[in-house]
Amino acid sequence: MQLFYKKSTQDFYIFLFLIILSVSAIILDNKYKQINYIRSIINDVIIYPIDLISSIPKSIVELLVIESKEGPDLQLKITKLEDENLNLKIKLQELQSLKDENLRLRNMAKESIIIANKQTLVKVISASAHPNKKIISIDKGRKEAVFEGQNVLGLKGLIGQVIEVNYLTSKVLLISDLNHNVPAQITRTGEKLIVSGMGRDDKLRVSYAPLNMNIKIGDVVATSGIAGRFKLNIPIGKISDVIYNQDKNFIEAIVLPYENIGNIAELILIWDYIPKKTDE
């Protein structure tokens, strides 16, 4: 009986101690971001291997698919790619001259237009790394000097931003997340608007645009660089639908992103833009 009593009170004190520890961990993590390194240690030591294990079946299937492709098929693909390469090279020359001209013009206006001088291709290791948010994890981390807030692009347009950096992996918040907003502009007119996620991969939304805004179906939307989160002039998508809502006194619009945001295997990190730190 004495022993049972002793064990019980010991448990109670451990319980109390752990509760206090948890509460202080919550406060530290929420207020001061001091214990982020504990999170990255857990992520690197435990979750990274688990992610790797869970991606084994997928990579085996992919390997089999590649193996089963026959020779002629590949030959055909190679000729097609060579053709494409040639065409692109010719186009690139045109583009280079246009770029130079544009740069010269922009220099007069003192604005930079180049999307990125240095970029890195990264792979997605888990397409959904959070149960309630649109977050993916990528295979580069602090080891490759990835930093928080870094802009993440696809081949065609904006994807999101880095929100958590561990030693070997990082997490990227997608622009399609329900709580994510991007300061943007219509490239045709330069008018500013805010593009928000809808929690869906194929659609983004402009919730509040003034009624007198010059906005048409087919307009290209790009980042505006306001607030210093995203670099200027990264393309986002095209306006696919404009809803005039007279009662509410603003325009709603739907933006079709250029990138297939939720289902993408390779992403690009850009290095020459460092976002402004905001006090959150």
Partner 1 sequence: MNNFLIISSSFVIALLITTTTFALGEFSPDWIQLVLIYWLLAAPSAVGLIISWLIGLIADATLGTTLGMHALTYVGISFIIMQSYKFLRYLTVYQQAIIIFIIFILKYTILLWIDRLLDINVYTLSIYWTPLMSAILWPIVFYILRFIRRKYYIA
**C-alpha count within 13 angstroms, C-beta hemisphere, residue 161:** 19
Give the shortest CB-269-to-partner 1 separation in angstroms. 20
Nearer to partner 1, 2 or 30 (CB): 30
Question: Can you say whether the dihedral through the CA atoms of 104, 108, 112, 118 is positive or negative?
Answer: positive
User: Is 15 or 147 the residue whose CB approaches partner 1 more closely?
Assistant: 15
Would you say 97 or 260 has its CB closer to partner 1?
Answer: 260
x/- mask, partner 1, residues 159-178, rule CB under 8 A, reads: -----x------x-------
Q: Is 263 in the site for partner 1 (CB under 8 A)?
A: no
What mask of x and - would describe binding to partner 1 in positions 107 to 146, judged by CB under 8 A? Answer: -------------------xxxxxxxx-x-----------
CA distances from 77 to 67, 68, 86, 92 (A): 15, 15, 14, 22
Residues contacting residue 83 through CB under 8 Å, at least 6 positions apart: none
Q: Would you state the structure tokens that stand for residue 177, as one six-digit string? A: 């997340």
**Residue list 21-80, contact with partner 1 (CB under 8 A):** 21-26, 28-30, 35, 38-39, 42-43, 46-47, 50-51, 53-54
Residue 154's alpha-carbon distances to 90, 162, 240, 256, in angstroms, are 23, 14, 20, 15
Instruction: Provide Rg for the chain, Cα atoms.
Output: 24
CB closer to partner 1, 21 vs 92: 21
Distance of CA 252 to the CA centre of its chain: 24
When the beta carbons of 180 and 231 are compared against partner 1, the nearer one is 180
Exposure on the CB side of residue 98, measured as CA atoms within 13 A: 6
Q: Binding segment for partner 1 among 15-23, 107-115, 140-148, 239-247 (CB under 8 A)?
A: 15-23
Q: Which of 159, 124, 185, 184 is nearest to 257 (CA)?
A: 159
Question: What distance in Å separates the CA atoms of residue 214 and residue 258, rounded to the nearest whole number?
Answer: 21
Q: How many residues bind partner 1, per CB under 8 A?
A: 37
Amino acid 101 reads E
The smaller minimum CB distance to partner 1, of residues 26 and 61, is found at: 26
Taking CB under 8 A as the criterion, the residue among 9, 18, 145, 260 binding partner 1 is: 18
Q: How far is CA 279 from the centre of its chain?
A: 21
Interaction residues for partner 1, span 177-196 (CB under 8 A): 179
Point out which span in 18-26, 65-73, 105-113, 184-192 binds partner 1 (CB under 8 A).
18-26
Both tokens of residue 270? Answer: 């850009």
Q: Give the interface with partner 1 as residue ranges (CB under 8 A).
A: 11, 14-15, 18-19, 21-26, 28-30, 35, 38-39, 42-43, 46-47, 50-51, 53-54, 126-133, 135, 164, 171, 179
